[in-house]
Copies of this chain bind each other. A is one copy, B any other.
Amino acid sequence: MSGADLDDELKQDDAVAAEAEAESPAPESESLDEENRLKPEFVRNVMDALDEEDSDRVYELVEPLHPADIADLFELVNEDERLQLARSIRDLMGVEVIAELNDWVRELLIEALPADVVAEIAEQLDTDDAVAMIEDLDREDQQAVLAELDPEDRAAIEAALSYPEESAGRLMSREFVAVPETMTVGDLIDFLREHRELPTEFWEVFIVDAMHRPVGTCALSWILRCPRNIPLYDVMSRDQTLIPVDMDQEEVALRFQKYALISAAVTDSAGRLIGQITVDDIVHIIQEEASEDILRLSGAGDGDINEPILITVRARLTWLCVNLATAILASSVVGLFQGAITRFALLAVLMPIVSGMGGNAGTQTLAVVVRAIATNQLTDSNTVRMILRELRIATANGAALGLLIGGGTTLLFSNPLLGAVIGAAMVINNLVAGLAGILVPVTLDRFRIDPAVSSAVFVTTATDTMGFFSFLGLAVLTGLA
């Protein structure tokens, strides 16, 4: 615990420290609300100024904002005002704003710019941000931008683009610090002071052997605290997590999380150090991948509220059509029992309860299992145990709901047989829901299909058809209708 000791140290310098920095460093409150979002009034003022084509006023309003807030502002104004906003604040559109922009908004702006301006921006960005900026451009525009880059940057970006999308190769930055293990702490500090072209911010130094293969890492905090004469191989940590360049970004994120990494070395197939990935990019990926699971489970495609509406409609409609097929399948099960329904219409009234509750129970299990798979909590080692666990839960919930709805039905309609039928159907459908909820995603995962994308259709099909079939089938079997 260092707080107390430091306090003492600080007091010695009270007098001088007091005079500087009287102004408050707190986030400026005219534009941001208490949750750190741009205030609606502020956004409206900007939009009004844009409407009036008052570029000076726009500039004046936007100028005090942090780059990340300027990026947010682009999302909050109307689509047709975004280009105008960019023109009004041209010299505020630094690389930090560009890097923070939502993909769709950035694409809109980038496409409106001439290739040489895009190239100029790309040259100022780290490789990974430059790649993110141009990877979604169509082939022709991409080539035009690449042609404008200076050869070194072009080579770096082309190399990154040669790796698969969402792989470590796209994510890594080629700016990093790597030194031989023969250096001492003092050599390293001198090296850092002399080399101005190093990245502005880095958190670890990679130590490499003669073949440029990483052999250890050194946190800057250790270097700062060691005497100059200590050799790096005495302070470095040999326990490093290396990221192969073709690793999927989701896997990379899981490793960062598991080993609490700040940065990690990326290696090529020969084991040579070719880049680094830093945790600030990983934070975005974790958010992205988790959002993806929610959105895919519900069939909402990428679900970005800034994507062009036609893309949204197409993504959602595709999913709805797949679900339409399963709805028709379930409905055809009901069709088998039209005679029974004509004789006893109450069956049609109650049947949505059985199918709907099964659907809810299946969705619960599915959500838990999909997340457990995504976070490596559910592996081959505990699959069987988890299936048994879900069955026990389904039995308990099925029994409870079956008794509740069976009892209620018996009392309400004075019909014990109807109560028994709906109760039994509820138990059966809860078991179907629990089993489908875990077996479907686990099976898809075995076949390397993303369980978040396609599980829900199968699970709903199972609970809908089995819900109708068990309830209506039992009604006919028991002579109820």
**A375-405 with Cβ < 8 A to chain B:** 375-382, 385-386, 389, 392-393, 396-397, 400-401, 404-405
**Which of A261, A297, A305 counts the most chain B CB atoms within 10 A?**
A305
Partner of A7, one of B43, B212, B254, B368: B212
Q: List 12 A-B contacts (CB under 8 A).
A: A1-B197, A25-B238, A43-B381, A68-B258, A102-B377, A282-B283, A290-B294, A316-B397, A320-B401, A321-B401, A327-B356, A334-B348
- Determine the chain B residues whose CB is within 8 A of the CB of A254 once the complex forms: 36
Could you tell me if A371 and B299 are in contact, using CB atoms closer than 8 angstroms?
no
**A254-268 with Cβ < 8 A to chain B:** 254-262
Could you tell me if A209 and B18 are in contact, using CB atoms closer than 8 angstroms?
yes
Could you tell me if B224 and A2 are in contact, using CB atoms closer than 8 angstroms?
no
Question: Which candidate, A55-63, A83-91, A200-208, is the interface stretch facing chain B?
Answer: A200-208
Q: Does A38 have its Cβ within 8 Å of any Cβ on chain B?
A: yes
Could you tell me if B286 and A283 are in contact, using CB atoms closer than 8 angstroms?
yes
Could you tell me if A324 and B401 are in contact, using CB atoms closer than 8 angstroms?
yes
Could you tell me if B221 and A203 are in contact, using CB atoms closer than 8 angstroms?
yes
Nearest Cβ distance between residue A379 and chain B, in whole angstroms?
5
Q: Does A113 have its Cβ within 8 Å of any Cβ on chain B?
A: no
- Determine the chain B residues whose CB is within 8 A of the CB of A21 once the complex forms: 181, 209, 215-216, 233, 237-239
- Determine the chain B residues whose CB is within 8 A of the CB of A212 once the complex forms: 7, 10
Interface string of A182-211 (1 = CB under 8 A from B): 110000010111010111111100001111
Question: Which candidate, A114-122, A132-140, A160-168, A169-177, is the interface stretch facing chain B?
Answer: A169-177
Interface string of A22-46 (1 = CB under 8 A from B): 1011110000000111111001100
Nearest Cβ distance between residue A378 and chain B, in whole angstroms?
6
Nearest Cβ distance between residue A308 and chain B, in whole angstroms?
11
Nearest Cβ distance between residue A296 and chain B, in whole angstroms?
9
Q: Does A52 have its Cβ within 8 Å of any Cβ on chain B?
A: no
Could you tell me if B203 and A238 are in contact, using CB atoms closer than 8 angstroms?
no
Partner of A371, one of B208, B303, B324: B303
- Determine the chain B residues whose CB is within 8 A of the CB of A255 once the complex forms: 36
Could you tell me if A303 and B367 are in contact, using CB atoms closer than 8 angstroms?
yes
Find the B residue at minimum CB distance from A283.
B257
Partner of A378, one of B177, B226, B305: B305
A422 to B303, CA, bound (A): 28
Given A230-B6, A367-B300: A286 and B294 within 8 A (CB)? no
Nearest Cβ distance between residue A30 and chain B, in whole angstroms?
15
Could you tell me if B364 and A299 are in contact, using CB atoms closer than 8 angstroms?
yes
Nearest Cβ distance between residue A274 and chain B, in whole angstroms?
8
- Determine the chain B residues whose CB is within 8 A of the CB of A9 once the complex forms: 179-180, 191
Q: Does A148 have its Cβ within 8 Å of any Cβ on chain B?
A: no
| Interface of A (DSSP majority class) | helix
- Determine the chain B residues whose CB is within 8 A of the CB of A183 once the complex forms: 13
A381 to B464, CA, bound (A): 40
Given A75-B377, A379-B40, A396-B313: A297 and B367 within 8 A (CB)? yes
Nearest Cβ distance between residue A238 and chain B, in whole angstroms?
6
Nearest Cβ distance between residue A313 and chain B, in whole angstroms?
5
Partner of A364, one of B13, B316, B380: B316
- Determine the chain B residues whose CB is within 8 A of the CB of A238 once the complex forms: 21-22, 25
Could you tell me if B18 and A174 are in contact, using CB atoms closer than 8 angstroms?
no
For the A-B complex with A9-B191, A16-B182, A338-B348 known, give 9 more contacts whose Cβ atoms are closer than 8 Å: A21-B215, A22-B238, A37-B376, A44-B381, A72-B258, A75-B382, A309-B393, A327-B357, A351-B352
A3 to B235, CA, bound (A): 10
A400 to B393, CA, bound (A): 40
Could you tell me if A324 and B353 are in contact, using CB atoms closer than 8 angstroms?
yes
A367 to B316, CA, bound (A): 12
- Determine the chain B residues whose CB is within 8 A of the CB of A14 once the complex forms: 210
Could you tell me if A66 and B36 are in contact, using CB atoms closer than 8 angstroms?
no
Nearest Cβ distance between residue A167 and chain B, in whole angstroms?
14
Q: Does A372 have its Cβ within 8 Å of any Cβ on chain B?
A: yes
Partner of A345, one of B177, B231, B341, B375: B341
Could you tell me if B283 and A68 are in contact, using CB atoms closer than 8 angstroms?
no
Interface string of A409-426 (1 = CB under 8 A from B): 000000000000000000
Could you tell me if A299 and B363 are in contact, using CB atoms closer than 8 angstroms?
yes
Nearest Cβ distance between residue A283 and chain B, in whole angstroms?
5
- Determine the chain B residues whose CB is within 8 A of the CB of A299 once the complex forms: 360, 363-364
Given A203-B221, A224-B192, A327-B356: A25 and B385 within 8 A (CB)? no
